[in-house]
Structure 1
């Protein structure tokens, strides 16, 4: 019997975990033929990945499609989740596992970043703006951060794609942890550019302490800045537009199981 296990990051802020659970509830509806569908977390909350796998097996699962609900490929996707799957194989040698991939670089996500900037006040345009249509505005995309170069390079690619479809002159990328440029470095660089308006979009799936830290940091910057205005947009969140991306990733794993 097949099962689907969705694996999220986990947050110290319970509201973030509830956002994931609500998002997964919608995703489950895309697979009515799969009666066993569970959710696990990498860290900070429960059930753990192994606990969630155990829940699947107790319900009769003999094949489990493990789907990471993560934006980008990094250590969690490459090492942490696979290590937990290997542990599960030792506990349940009769169970087959197939493992999927994070959301990655998707047109839907590029459009969602653009949408978050527009919701914060950025001018809307149809299609790709010409250079003359671009306004003196900077967009800063803030990622969680990783020591994995694949993750950081993917976010830079996404930033470039966002630039192509938005009427801004500059786009910068920075990271909350684990690598450079840091948030401080990214915001300082943005402040040195000609643009007086700087939109900051957190490339995060859920609310939590990281989002709270950004809100405080930008509030302080606006207090001391006479000429520059920093505008914090909303995080990506578990937007309904991402349901199709997750559905595609889940189908990829189910195909592996046959």
Structure 2
């Protein structure tokens, strides 16, 4: 293993500094385990950003591996982090590798089993002698692939461990919600119900899970109920992260592409399929959180501009004058006073027809754009019209 390797542990970022410190603690512990420099970087709401973390490591490294500290693969893992990684590859003279999220791993199943055992002990019950049902409660996502992994995790926790049942639930976004699941479980009249918050930090959502468990305990006096602790900084997470690092360095990062809503058109998610949509969504999301100067005071809102314009500045488009198009568009938007953000993008997959410009959320792509076209495109952004003769495709 090269001494010049380094790792960025990519956390989500939070207004609660305690949650950010947890990411930094895991990064420091992972550094000790791997014997390599490991820095924390954040997707939003905290500093440094992932890009800044890569930049600080790049001068002294030949390879930087980015590992998302995410439990499941939703949009941050599938779109936001890869976007930063691709940009870093063009900005730094270093090989940047994109690792896999934590996902479903035997060490995490064991960790959840221990969390359940701790609650059993506090309630004075034992799964060997009593009917104990576990309810795993995750955050919930708009990504069906991510939600499906919660159910898979619950099933793995059930197999061979003596529980009367293990159910998956969510605190929001999707169903079944925690309270619905608990009320359904109560109909079985188990001796005890163990609620496990499947979350890394002890934040707002974890507290909501605790409150839900407490309300259930009060509503059903014939069932003992208790809530476990989040995953925290348990050493078993380091085992998973070390595996993810080795996978990335071996080029063996496997994702569930067959059930990814960005790659496969799925019922109810037809508007999400297509890599370009995922990339543009990631760019818009990042732009909404670009100002990190007031992260302690600002709520986590997505105050994105009305229009987001991505200008491909990858190799072919760059040779066709994309940098000039980018600057002319920025100037034209300022002069027109249009609520739009103009950013660089990596390859849009239309090489040879550039410079390419994509407008989101309109889904309009322009090809062979010249600097002289900037004023017309900027004007169209404020009128919801398109420059038809430049359109190469629509999404």
Whether TM exceeds 0.5 here: the answer is yes
User: Structure 1, residues 54-111: CA drift from partner, whole Å, max 9, x if none?
Assistant: 2223x4334321111222222221111112223333433x332211111222211111
1:127-146 matches, within 5 Å, as 135-146=130-141
Q: Report what 1:29 is aligned to.
A: 32
1:7 aligns with 2:10: yes
SS in 1 for 2:52: helix
Q: Is the 8 A contact 2:85 2:97 kept in 1?
A: no
User: Structure 1, residues 146-168: CA drift from partner, whole Å, max 9, x if none?
Assistant: 12222222221121111123222
1:226 deviates by 2.7
1:7 deviates by 0.7
Q: Report what 1:176 is aligned to.
A: 171
Distance in 2, Cα, partners of 1:73 & 1:201: 20
Q: Report the TM-score, using the length of structure 2 for normalisation.
A: 0.58
Q: Report what 1:98 is aligned to.
A: 97
SS in 2 for 1:167: coil
RMSD: 2.2
Q: Which moved more, 1:137-146 or 1:81-90?
A: 81-90
Q: Is the 8 A contact 2:28 2:39 kept in 1?
A: no
Task: Find the partner of 1:16 among 6, 9, 19.
Answer: 19
Unaligned runs of 5+ in 2: 253-395
1:246 aligns with 2:241: yes
1:226/1:13 Cα in 2 relative to 1: closer, same or farther (>3 Å)?
same
Distance in 2, Cα, partners of 1:42 & 1:189: 37
1:8/1:190 Cα in 2 relative to 1: closer, same or farther (>3 Å)?
same
1:116 deviates by 0.3
Q: Which moved more, 1:154-163 or 1:182-191?
A: 182-191
Q: Is the 8 A contact 1:215 1:232 kept in 2?
A: yes
Q: Report what 1:223 is aligned to.
A: 218
Structure with the bigger RCO (C-alpha within 8 Å, sep 6+) is: 1
1:143/1:198 Cα in 2 relative to 1: closer, same or farther (>3 Å)?
same
Q: Is the 8 A contact 1:67 1:99 kept in 2?
A: yes
1:51/1:165 Cα in 2 relative to 1: closer, same or farther (>3 Å)?
same
Q: Is the 8 A contact 1:12 1:208 kept in 2?
A: no
1:58-69 matches, within 5 Å, as 59-69=59-69
Q: Is the 8 A contact 1:124 1:166 kept in 2?
A: no
User: Structure 1, residues 91-141: CA drift from partner, whole Å, max 9, x if none?
Assistant: 33x33221111122221111111100001116567xxxxxxx573221100
Q: Is the 8 A contact 2:171 2:205 kept in 1?
A: yes
SS in 2 for 1:121: helix
Q: Report what 2:313 is aligned to.
A: none
SS in 2 for 1:217: helix
User: Structure 1, residues 149-193: CA drift from partner, whole Å, max 9, x if none?
Assistant: 222222211211111232221211111222211222222222222
1:198 deviates by 0.9
Q: Is the 8 A contact 2:11 2:40 kept in 1?
A: yes
Distance in 1, Cα, partners of 2:248 & 2:19: 25
1:83/1:245 Cα in 2 relative to 1: closer, same or farther (>3 Å)?
same
Q: Report what 2:302 is aligned to.
A: none
1:201 deviates by 0.4
